[in-house]
Amino acid sequence: MKLELRKIHIKDLAMGNEMSVKNGTLTIDKEAIIEVLKDDVNVKDVKIDIAKPGDKTRIIPVKDVIEPRVKIEGEGNGFPGVSTAVTQAGSGKVNILDGAAVVTIGDIVGFQEGVVDMWGEGAKWTPFSKTYNIVIDISVIDGLDPHTHEATVRMAGLKAAELIGQAGKDVEPDEVKTYEMGSIFEEAEKYPNLPKVAYVEMLISQGLLHDGYIYGVNSQLILPTLLHPNEELDGAVISGNCVAACDKITTYQHQNNSSILDLYEMHGKEINFLGVILTPELTTLAGKFRTCDYTAKLCKSLGAEGVIVSEEGYGNPDSDLLMICKRLEESGIKTVLITDECSGRDGMSQPLADTTKEAIAVISTGNVSHVVKLDKADKVLGNQAAIATLAGGWEGSIDENGVLSCELNAVIGATSEIGYHNLTVELY
Amino acid sequence: MKFKAIYYVNQFFGQIGGEDKAGMKPMFKEEAIGPAMGFNTLIKEEGEVVGTIICGDNYFNENKEESMKFIMDIVKKHNPDVLIAGPAFNAGRYGMACAGVGSEVNEELGIPVVTGMYIENPGLDAVNGTAYVVSVPDSAVGMRDALPKMAKLAIKLAKGEEMGKPEVEGYLPQGKRLTVFSDKRGSKRAVEMLIKRFKNEEFKTEMPMPVFDTVEPADAIKDLSKATIALVTSGGIVPTGNPDRIQSASAQKWGKYNVADIDALTGNAYCTIHGGYDPVYANAVPDRVAPLDLLKKNEKDGVIGKVFDYFYTTTGTGTSVGNAITFGKEIGQELKEAGVDGVIVTST
């Protein structure tokens, strides 16, 4: 498979009467987006705003973040099996509005969405303070059940990203990156002396706001499955979840999965990257045994000598993470885990909900209960009162001066367990 | 203005006497005694030791409450910027006393504390993140090296300067896992760590695996039909409206609600505020998470003696083990005092 990711650098964002990119400025036709999103009978109202890096703007409660793109060559477009017809993703040429992002907001069940601050202290803690954000607030018709509500908002975000992506269709990119990899036999022949490495990406698969989707299939329903890395980079995997905001993998982070990109970077140099194994995190014990055994088996069948495993969420999936690690290490496969930790606000508690002696190489992406203080915003997109019930917030999170205190739990992407952000933990 | 330090030593270092004086009650002298003298010289440019508390090791450990009352009164009266204890080297009782004084002064009054201990001193565990502990050898020959290290930390703390990393500042890690920024994103660090493993190079995990406590089970209930059973859940079931504002993740508190007069937790009156699972089915029938209906049925059928009048609840998701231990002790204490024989704890 050969995929060309063609990046058009977005350096400014404006509202206007057309969708276009001119000299790095992305112009959004608000009405055109609203019209398309309102096609869905379940959508009652759509509000669109923009937030730029440095603006004293707070976005809350955020559901998903999506990168606007358009496929200009090769099969399909957008998110196959979800917002467009099913096609084989992973090949062709994609024009990307690099630096722009669609951010969906609005209450769904009110616990798992998060905060993005575009300036100051808050900006340091989220990767999405650096993107030019098109913020879409979707309200649905009265009486809609929560599962349909979630699906409606999820779909609206993806459709908006596709629509905005069209603006880059005929624009020359500033940067082109090519990702090409043959079958595992071809690659092994090319790099006979490099150690073979698989990437296991765990996906929360536990019900409303806790599901990932692969070509539109809910990850709850799958056995662990093998993907060519290009497929995920080309929109095959999306987020339907709002686990704690800090460590859910947004759709944007699937499209730009940092673990895949950093493994690709070393492919043919230090390692032979075999592919991505998507593993559901299930709630039942039998489910955990089945998926962990199956994941280890896939790694062994591929001849992996090393594996990177990333978690999504925390708590019960800590067990899946460590069960996979134990199985791999016992098979002689060198394993590095990426996870965040729940060490408590004082950092004095055990970091994980489970333990295994085989986990000797672990990357920590931060303590989800680390408390941060975020300055008063000039402008709030969404509803700031949501912080009282969000995971990581509490009643009284906002003080009389408008300063918002919360745990990293509430900050989108702060402790990303695919290693998308740059936090770690040190022992003091 | 110079900062003020108060020093704590045992009977031996307080120059009262050896083991025969280990039973002495605490006393306070408004001067620097024993190691406090050397320490005072080291900080003299910026601070001074305003007095030394001396207490017998046996007396402290056998009469902790009384000793601490005396010590806390002295500390409150003089309100020092920093408290120094020891170093205790490998003396267990002295170490426990330094840890006891240090943790209470630090936790109750917020005054920073510096001590010194040998790595195997049992007092080290009791410090539990309160005092800064300098690693010292197992005997008093290490005094000459220990005091400058302790003085350096004390000056920093007394002046309110930011404390750096343990290996840089020269104290033993306090067990605090602090979130900091790295110069590389997590995925890059993971790939580099894996490559190091392939090359058999040294690598350092960012998260040593936790060690868990084990809990010994209580004795079996001999006659269930006479037993009072309580219902406890970490599934976040609360009366609708969440009157106690329990957090949806990383709980900082628990609640208890009277269920003496109801037969079930129904969907209108109760709901979940737990942010870690699909709430739709729990909101429809909260008994699915906290099965009060079945317990009440068992009570009616005579299978169990009585369902306790209150059910207890908190949110498990993202809640630190430290908070969970506190909640468990508090709830357990109440249930024990109320004569509850057994508890059903449900998680999600």
Q: pLDDT tens across A144-200, in order? A: 998 899 999 999 999 999 999 999 999 999 999 999 999 999 999 999 999 999 999
Which of 185-224 (A) contact B at CB < 8 A?
195, 197, 206-210
Instruction: Give the pLDDT confidence of A319-355 residue by residue, as tens digits.
Output: 999 999 999 999 999 999 999 999 999 999 999 999 9
Show residues of chain A in contact with B235, CB under 8 Å.
none
Would residue A179 count as lying in a domain? Answer: yes
The neighbouring-strand residues paired with A275 are A198
Q: For testing the chain B interface, which of A249, A365, A387, A417 should be mutated: the one with the most B CBs within 10 Å?
A: A365
Of the candidates A243, A315, A338, which has its C-beta nearest B186's C-beta? A338
Asked if A242 is an active-site residue, the reply is yes
Show residues of chain A in contact with B172, CB under 8 Å.
none
Q: Give the strand pairing for B113-117 and B132-135.
A: parallel
Would residue A39 count as lying in a domain? Answer: yes
Would residue A202 count as lying in a domain? Answer: yes
User: Hey, is A300 helix, strand or coil?
Assistant: helix
At residue A109, the pLDDT reads: 65
The minimum CA-CA distance between A315 and chain B, rounded to whole Å, is: 6
Residue A239: closest CA among A254, A227, A229, A260: A254
CB contact under 8 Å between A367 and B179, yes or no, is: yes
**What pTM was estimated for this model as a whole?**
0.91
Residue B215 identity: V
B166: pLDDT strictly greater than 80: yes
Cα–Cα distance between B326 and B332 in angstroms, integer?
Answer: 10
Would residue A417 count as lying in a domain? Answer: no
b/e map B7-42, b = 16+ CB within 10 Å: bbbbbbbbebeeeebbebebebeeebbbbbebbbeb
Strand order in the sheet with A334-341: A225-227, A272-281, A196-204, A306-310, A334-341, A362-367
CB contact under 8 Å between B209 and A111, yes or no, is: no
Show residues of chain A in contact with B279, CB under 8 Å.
109, 111, 146, 208
Show residues of chain A in contact with B273, CB under 8 Å.
111, 389
Is residue A105 within 8 Å of residue A382, measured between CB atoms? yes
Instruction: Give the pLDDT confidence of A91-147 residue by residue, as tens digits.
Output: 999 999 999 999 999 877 667 789 999 999 999 999 999 999 999 999 999 999 988
Would residue A424 count as lying in a domain? Answer: no
Domain membership of residue A281 as a residue range: 2-410
CB neighbours of residue B242 within 10 Å: 18
Query: Where do we find the tokens 């190489």?
Result: A361
Mean pLDDT calculated for residue range B205-222: 91
pLDDT band at A241 (very low <50, low <70, confident <90, very high): confident
Residue B335 identity: L
Cα–Cα distance between B81 and B49 in angstroms, integer?
Answer: 10
Instruction: Give the pLDDT confidence of B168-212 residue by residue, as tens digits.
Output: 999 999 889 999 999 999 999 999 999 999 999 999 999 999 888
pLDDT band at B4 (very low <50, low <70, confident <90, very high): very high
Is residue A307 within 8 Å of residue A199, measured between CB atoms? yes
Show residues of chain A in contact with B163, CB under 8 Å.
428
Cα–Cα distance between A232 and A255 in angstroms, integer?
Answer: 6
At residue A41, the pLDDT reads: 97
Of the candidates B166, B176, B209, which has its C-beta nearest A359's C-beta? B209
b/e map B92-120, b = 16+ CB within 10 Å: ebbbbbbbbbbbbbbeeeebbbbbbbbee
> Architecture of domain B3-169 in CATH?
3-Layer(aba) Sandwich (3.40)
Would residue A421 count as lying in a domain? Answer: no
Mean pLDDT calculated for residue range B204-233: 94
At residue A110, the pLDDT reads: 62
CB contact under 8 Å between A315 and B191, yes or no, is: no
The minimum CA-CA distance between A404 and chain B, rounded to whole Å, is: 16
Average pLDDT over chain A, rounded to whole? 95
Identify the helix (H) or strand (E) that includes residue A260.
helix A258-266
Cα–Cα distances (Å) from A45 to A38, A62, A105, in that order, read 7, 17, 12
A293: pLDDT strictly greater than 80: yes
Q: Scanning every residue of chain B, which has its alpha carbon at the shortest distance from the alpha carbon of A389?
A: B248
CB neighbours of residue B144 within 10 Å: 9
Sequence length of chain B is: 348
At residue A131, the pLDDT reads: 98
CB contact under 8 Å between A145 and B280, yes or no, is: yes
Cα–Cα distance between B322 and A388 in angstroms, integer?
Answer: 23
Q: For testing the chain B interface, which of A348, A370, A405 should be mutated: the one with the most B CBs within 10 Å?
A: A348
Cα–Cα distances (Å) from A334 to A308, A395, B166, B194, B203, in that order, read 9, 45, 30, 7, 13
pLDDT band at A359 (very low <50, low <70, confident <90, very high): very high
The minimum CA-CA distance between A403 and chain B, rounded to whole Å, is: 19
SS3 content of chain B, % helix, strand, coil (to 5): 35, 20, 45
Mean pLDDT calculated for residue range A293-303: 98
Is residue B98 within 8 Å of residue B88, measured between CB atoms? yes
Number of domains in chain A: 1
User: Hey, is A335 helix, strand or coil?
Assistant: strand
At residue A161, the pLDDT reads: 97
Cα–Cα distance between B67 and B73 in angstroms, integer?
Answer: 10
Mean pLDDT calculated for residue range A237-251: 90
Query: Where do we find the tokens 């009162």?
Result: A385
Cα–Cα distances (Å) from A203 to A89, A211, A411, in that order, read 19, 7, 19
Q: Which two tokens stand for residue A56?
A: 């004293």
Q: For testing the chain A interface, which of B130, B194, B321 should be mutated: the one with the most A CBs within 10 Å?
A: B194
Terminus-to-terminus CA distance in chain A, angstroms? 46
Cα–Cα distance between B149 and B39 in angstroms, integer?
Answer: 10
CB contact under 8 Å between A342 and B319, yes or no, is: yes
Per cent of chain A over pLDDT 90 is 92
Show residues of chain B in contact with A263, CB under 8 Å.
187, 191
Cα–Cα distance between B8 and A16 in angstroms, integer?
Answer: 72
Burial of A71 (0-12, 13-18, 19+ CB in 10 A): buried
Is residue B2 within 8 Å of residue B48, measured between CB atoms? yes
Is residue B148 within 8 Å of residue B40, measured between CB atoms? no
Strand order in the sheet with A237-241: A217-218, A210-214, A237-241
Would residue A427 count as lying in a domain? Answer: no
Identify the helix (H) or strand (E) that includes residue B175.
none
Q: Scanning every residue of chain A, which has its alpha carbon at the shortest distance from the alpha carbon of B244?
A: A395
Asked if A107 reaches chain B (Cβ–Cβ under 8 Å), the answer is no
At residue A206, the pLDDT reads: 85
Query: Where do we find the tokens 């270092």?
Result: B13
CB neighbours of residue A397 within 10 Å: 21
Quick one: DSSP state of residue B147?
Answer: H
**Ranges for all domains in chain B classified under CATH 3.40.50.2300:** 3-169
Mean pLDDT calculated for residue range A305-324: 97
